[in-house]
Amino acid sequence: MADRPTIELLYWRECPSWGRALAMLREEMESAGLDPESIRAREVTTEEAASEEEFVGSPTIRIDGADMQPPGPDKPVGLNCRVYRHRDGRISPLPDRADLRDALKAATQGGIKTR
């Protein structure tokens, strides 16, 4: 089995969905046999920090440094609320749970898979 992946949740406090994203991430990590207490939750507080982090909005989940759902090249960085597109086409402030599950599974099997 591969080393345990590093899981990060980057968030901006003004975006209300980050708490639900953290709860969902904890649930999916536990289901994948990963320790949910190992999540590195980091608040992004300034535009400068957002630029340094290439932070495209809150919440952002990174697995081994890679965005679990990479944004398009035209997505601006900054302090804003992120929008995700689910597999069924719906728009949501949270990533698709199935995408998160697949990314965690791939990371525990030796390589991150992002869609």
pLDDT tens digits, one per residue of 70-85: 988 888 999 999 999 9
Mean pLDDT across the stretch 108-114? 65
Please indicate, yes or no, if residue 2 is contained in any of the structural domains: no
d(CA 115, CA 102): 9
Total of domains in the chain: 1
Residues 6+ positions from 107 with CB-CB distance below 8 Å: 2, 5, 63, 64
Please indicate, yes or no, if residue 72 is contained in any of the structural domains: yes
Quick one: pLDDT at residue 111? 58
- Say what the pTM is: 0.90
Q: Is 5 helix (H, G, I), strand (E, B) or coil?
A: coil
Please indicate, yes or no, if residue 114 is contained in any of the structural domains: no
Residue 1 pLDDT more than 60? no
d(CA 83, CA 73): 15
Higher confidence at residue 26 or residue 75?
26
Quick one: pLDDT at residue 26? 98
Yes or no: say if 64 and 31 are a contact pair by the CB < 8 Å rule.
Answer: no
Q: What angle do CA 51, 52, 54 make, to 5 degrees?
A: 60
Average pLDDT, the chain: 92
Range of the domain at 18: 7-108
% of the chain at pLDDT higher than 90: 85
Please indicate, yes or no, if residue 74 is contained in any of the structural domains: yes
